[in-house]
Structure 1
Amino acid sequence: MPTLIGLCLIILFQLLGEALVHVTGLPLPGPVAGMILLLLALLLKRGLDHTLAPAATALLRYLPLLFVPAAVGVINHASLVQENGLVLLISILTSTLVTLWASAAVMNRWLKRKEGGNHE
């Protein structure tokens, strides 16, 4: 039963995100806004809800299926990928490096704060 309640919570936050985007006109997909709202709720609650964890685990099991449409799109538009391959490669590498750097910086700051070190 917790899995069903957790799935309902996840869908509820997606619906809230869709409503927020529709009402405010934010240039953001509704599910992303819902995910941000869920993150804020979890931060306020200070942890993962016991009903949400089983649903999240069940969904993560099927996460690779979400990459199938993207792979089909790449195959269907192979000529575009060929024409813009260098630009795609550069943007993928750049965004990966920036993400790694940002993640390391956040983790470093979090560890310093957790150890009681300085906040720089």
Structure 2
Amino acid sequence: MSDDALWAALADPHRRAIVALLLERPRSVGELVRHTGLSQPGTSKHLRVLREAGLVQVRQDAQRRVYALDPAPIAALDAWLAPYRALWNRGLDALGHRLDQTAGPSDRTDSPPHRRTDPP
């Protein structure tokens, strides 16, 4: 699996919708077709791209193919995004500090500031 294949697979909104459905639980192709509103051949093509990128695994269950999310590539994406998340948090911290400096005494509260750990 290459990083380029991973990003390309997630660039398509239909594939992101499939990944979101698989986040809930493994699903058969038929279920994915019903939930996405795509045709069976279209859904299968998207699943092939996701499988080749390493994002999903497939198993045979009698006559059905059941797809499940593989968390390893998602963890790799999360690790890649970590420095950007830190950059975002530094910006939010600086904004909070600036707002604290410009707030008048009646605007301040005794509660500690809330920090976001994830971008909106």
TM-score range with shorter-chain normalisation?
0.3 to 0.5
Larger strand proportion of the pair: 2
Q: State the TM-score, normalized to the length of structure 1.
A: 0.37
TM-score (norm 2): 0.37
Larger radius of gyration: 2
Larger helix share, 1 or 2? 1
